[in-house]
Structures are given as structure tokens and as C-alpha cells.
Structure 1
Amino acid sequence: MTKILLSLHVLAAIVAVGPVTVAASMFPAAARRVPVAAAVGGADGAGAGDAGGVGTVRLLHRICRVYAGLGIAVPVLGFATAAAMGVLSDAWLVASITLTAVAAGLLAAFVLPRQEELLEELADGRSVERARTARLAMFTGVFNLLWATVTVLMIVRPGSTTGA
């Protein structure tokens, strides 16, 4: 049963967290390009270029939101796997759980709300400040770094007696 739980946990992490990290990373740059695309299109092409740019940003935000919801399966399956392996109190797992909670909090409190704000501005035809997209990129980078750290902890498992 442990192997099945571990397989499901890893698959959930790849399928749910992977798209969030990629889409969230692409969002700030895509948001910055929207006004440029509208300006380059000129008077006749501005609407079409802007709609495509806003559509891309909207899609990236939707991917982040939907897959963040699906990402709940990762810690649920992780707890089940850890319980089956008898490692719930191991330091590497406690550190991973803590970092996962921080990453989830960062996504919920800073990344998704800022994406929504920028998307609303773009949908209203307003341009976004580069500093705001830069801050969003910073929060997204920290989110991605936290997930990378959790991944390394899951593989290396400091203090593990399994030899992995």
C-alpha cells in the first residue's frame, strides 16, 4: 500500500504543482506584454492584440487557480504516505510540511490575489506598473523555490535510514 500511496503522491505533485509553478512564472511577463501588444497593433489592431494578451493572462491565472485547488491532494496523499511509512515525526518531513504550508500560504495570500488584481486592470484596458509585475514575479519565485526545496528534501531525506 505504501508504494501505491507514494506513487499517487508523486503523480499528484507533478500533475498539480507543476502547472501552477509554470503558469505562475509566465504570468508576470505575459501581463507586462499586454499593453505593448495593444500599442504595437495601432488603432485598428489594438483591440485584437489586447484581447489576445488579456486572454493569455486570464488563462494563466485560471491554470494557477484550478491546479492550486487540485494541489490539495499532494499534502493529503503525503500525510497518508508518511503515516504508512512511519516517518511522520522525522525532521526532514516536518521541514517539508512546514515549507509546503508556507508555499501554499504564499500562493493563496500573495500570488493569486495579485494575479487577480492585475487581470482586472488589464481587462479594464489599464496598463500595469512594471514594479507590480516584478513584485508578483518575486513572490512567484519564492513559491517555486519553496517547492524545489521540498522536492529535494523528499528525495534526499536527511537522516533517512533507507539509503536513498
Structure 2
Amino acid sequence: MTKILLSAHVLAAIIAIGPVTVAASMFPAAVRRAQAAGGGSAASSVATVRLLHRICRVYAAVGITVPIFGFATASSLGVLTDPWLIASIALTAAAAGILALLVLPGQQAALARLDEPGGSVERRTTVRLAMLTGVFNLLWAVVTVLMIVRPGSTTGV
């Protein structure tokens, strides 16, 4: 059962978190391109921004399965109190908080500004979104490393 839970946890992480990291990373540049576009290409560029935001929202919701399978796996392995897992949980919570409380609302606000007639998004907004997304991605990278190179691992590596 542990192998099934671990497989589900890893697959959920790849399928859910991967698209969020990519789409969120592309979002600030897409906003800048949408603002720079003129004529008919502006609508297409805004549609791209809208799609990237939708990907982030949908896959963030799907991403809830990652910690669910993670807790189930950790429980079956008996490592719920291990320091590396507690650190991973804290970093995952921080990443989720950044995504839910800062990145997604920031994207929504930028998209709303793009949808306004003559509306524009300030450069500092896209820079802030890029920075927050970078922190989100870095937190997930650290969690991934902790999951692979966990202290006390039985892999012998």
C-alpha cells in the first residue's frame, strides 16, 4: 500500500505542481506582452494571460491532493514526526500560502486591469508577481530535494 500511496503522491506533485510553476512563471511576461500588443493581437495576448491564470487556479486546486497523499504516505512509513518531513510540511504550507494569498490574487488583479478599457498593469506589479512566483518555485524545489535526499533515508545514498 505504501508504494501505491507514494506513487500517487509523486504523480500528483508532477501533474499538479508542475503546471502551476510553469504557468505562474510565464504569467508576468505574458502580461507585459499583452500590454505591448496592439490591435487584434492584444485580444489574443490577453486570452493567453487569462489561460495562464486559469491553469494556475485549476492546478492549484488539484494540488490539494499532493499533501493528502503525502500525509497518507508518511503515515504508512511512520515518519510523521521526522524533522525533514516537518520542514517539508512547513515549506509546503508556505508555498501554498504564497500561491493562494499572493500569486493568484495578484494575477486576478492584473487580469482585471488588462480587461479595463485603457487599463494597464504597472511594471512593479509584474515584477512583484515574478518574484513571488520565484519564491513559490524555490520552496517547491527545496521540498523536492528534502523528499529525495531525506535524512535517515533507507535508499543508502
Q: TM-score range by the shorter chain?
A: over 0.9
Counterpart in 1 of 2:156?
163
Amino acid aligned to 1:34: A
In 2, Cα distance between the equivalents of 1:133 and 1:77? 33
Match of 2:129 among 95, 115, 136: 136
In 1, Cα distance between the equivalents of 2:93 and 2:25? 19
Number of equivalenced pairs:
156
Task: Give the TM-score of the pair, scaled to structure 1.
Answer: 0.93
* Cα shift at 1:159: 3.1
Amino acid aligned to 2:107: Q
* Cα shift at 1:108: 0.6
Superposition CA RMSD, Å: 0.9
Give the share of equivalent positions with the same residue, in percent: 70
In 1, Cα distance between the equivalents of 2:90 and 2:154? 22
Counterpart in 2 of 1:58?
50
* Structure 2 counterpart SS, 1:127: coil
CA displacement 1:123-152 (0-9 Å, x = unmatched):
114121111100010000000000000000
Task: Give the TM-score of the pair, scaled to structure 2.
Answer: 0.97
In 2, Cα distance between the equivalents of 1:161 and 1:144? 27
CA displacement 1:6-53 (0-9 Å, x = unmatched):
000000000000000000000000001112112xxxxxxx1x111101
In 2, Cα distance between the equivalents of 1:49 and 1:161? 55
* Cα shift at 1:162: 4.0
Q: Which runs of 5+ in 1 are unaligned?
A: 39-45
Query: 2:32 aligned with 1:32, yes or no?
Result: yes
Counterpart in 2 of 1:13?
13
In 1, Cα distance between the equivalents of 2:20 and 2:35? 24
Greater gyration radius: 1
* Cα shift at 1:92: 0.6
Match of 2:109 among 117, 120, 134: 117
Q: Which runs of 5+ in 2 are unaligned?
A: none
